[in-house]
């Protein structure tokens, strides 16, 4: 399976048209159609349904699209790493992270490093812990920012000298907005908006004092920004980390849980990971800076 043909296939999947894909790829339609047919023959399955108006993916085609995107991205990442200039340190650093204020610490160190090495570029992908670890395990990113505890059998890690505070995002005119802290029992009869990751957390259920199945969970979310829009419309109360939504000048406010629940986090990478020079320099810079704070 040729990486070039996978790029052709992705172009057709994106454009939903062999003709438009050929134009985008600056090639004629017959060779493109032939390459796609050869790919189907090689795999022994039909990938495309060629309709009169558009091309759609079969079930096998949808599976290949997901894997092809990962393979092409990994190939592009590897290609850039091995072809970076020999003298000046340059290249790309790939980081996966959930929503956390700790990204500001990463940005501060990256800014200092870029002043000395402007050829280093950073790529941040957002997602929950499951998505970050999946991309990490497939080699699509160099580092991941994960909440503690870290799987030490699988990853090396460095502790980030910061903690996130867990609490509740709500409207300023809500019944709980006058409270300084929110106790678990305050939420028992409230419509809750909960992150997909928290929904499977026994620890969070213990803090609230009830299982999520006994609570009114009206929605789940992956990105708190989207959840904050639901809160702003009065849909419910979002369980989340502090400092992710700027509540200044808005109709929203954040109240921490009581007892205070702080969450530590770490920067992790696969064991036996071989880094590019750019990624190695970035990691060493983090260690030098954070060792001062730990």
Q: How far apart are CA 272 and CA 96, in angstroms?
A: 18
Q: What is the pLDDT of residues 117-175, one digit of tens each?
A: 898 999 999 888 888 999 898 888 999 999 888 888 889 999 999 889 999 999 999 99
Q: What percent of the chain has pLDDT over 90?
A: 47
Chain centroid, CA 25 distance in Å = 29
Per-residue pLDDT tens for 186-235? 999 999 999 987 777 788 888 899 999 999 999 999 889 999 999 999 99
Do 82 and 89 contact (CB within 8 A), yes or no? no
Look at residues 287, 3, 280, 289 and name the one whose alpha carbon lies nearest to residue 142. Answer: 280
pLDDT digits (tens, 9 = 90+) for 83-109: 555 556 788 899 999 888 889 999 999
Structure confidence by residue, pLDDT tens digits, 18-50:
988 888 888 888 888 898 999 999 999 999 999
Residues contacting residue 66 through CB under 8 Å, at least 6 positions apart: none
β partners of residue 210? none
| CA 134/CA 54 separation, integer angstroms | 32
- Residues 280, 113 contacting (CB under 8 angstroms): no
Beta strands of the chain (E only): which ranges?
Answer: 48-50, 55-57, 91-97, 120-126, 143-147, 155-171, 182-183, 191-195, 216-221, 237-241, 252-258, 262-270
């Amino acid at each position: 399976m040729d990486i070039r043909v996978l790029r052709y296939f992705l172009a057709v999947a994106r454009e939903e048209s062999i003709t438009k894909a050929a134009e985008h790829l600056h090639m004629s339609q017959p060779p493109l159609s032939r390459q796609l047919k050869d790919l189907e023959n090689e795999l022994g399955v039909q990938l495309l349904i060629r309709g009169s108006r558009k091309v759609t993916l079969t079930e096998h085609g949808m599976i290949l699209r997901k894997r092809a995107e990962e393979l092409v991205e990994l190939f592009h990442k590897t290609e850039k790493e091995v072809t970076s200039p020999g003298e000046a340190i340059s290249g790309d650093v790939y980081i996966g992270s959930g929503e956390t204020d700790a990204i500001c610490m990463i940005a501060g160190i990256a800014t200092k490093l870029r002043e000395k090495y402007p050829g280093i570029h950073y790529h941040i992908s957002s997602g929950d812990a499951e998505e970050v670890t999946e991309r990490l395990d497939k080699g699509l990113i160099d580092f991941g920012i994960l909440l503690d505890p870290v799987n030490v059998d699988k990853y090396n890690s460095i502790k980030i000298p910061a903690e996130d505070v867990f609490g509740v995002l709500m409207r300023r005119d809500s019944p709980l907005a006058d409270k300084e802290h929110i106790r678990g029992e305050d939420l028992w009869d409230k419509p809750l908006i909960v992150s997909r990751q928290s929904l499977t957390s026994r620890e969070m259920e213990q803090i609230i004092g009830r299982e999520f199945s006994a609570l009114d969970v009206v929605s789940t979310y992956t990105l708190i920004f989207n959840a904050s829009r639901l809160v702003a419309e009065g849909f419910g109360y979002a369980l989340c980390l502090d400092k992710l939504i700027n509540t200044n000048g808005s109709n929203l406010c954040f109240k921490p849980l009581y007892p205070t629940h702080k969450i530590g986090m770490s920067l992790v990478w696969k064991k036996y990971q071989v880094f590019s020079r750019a990624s190695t320099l970035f990691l060493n810079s983090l260690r030098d800076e954070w060792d001062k704070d730990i």
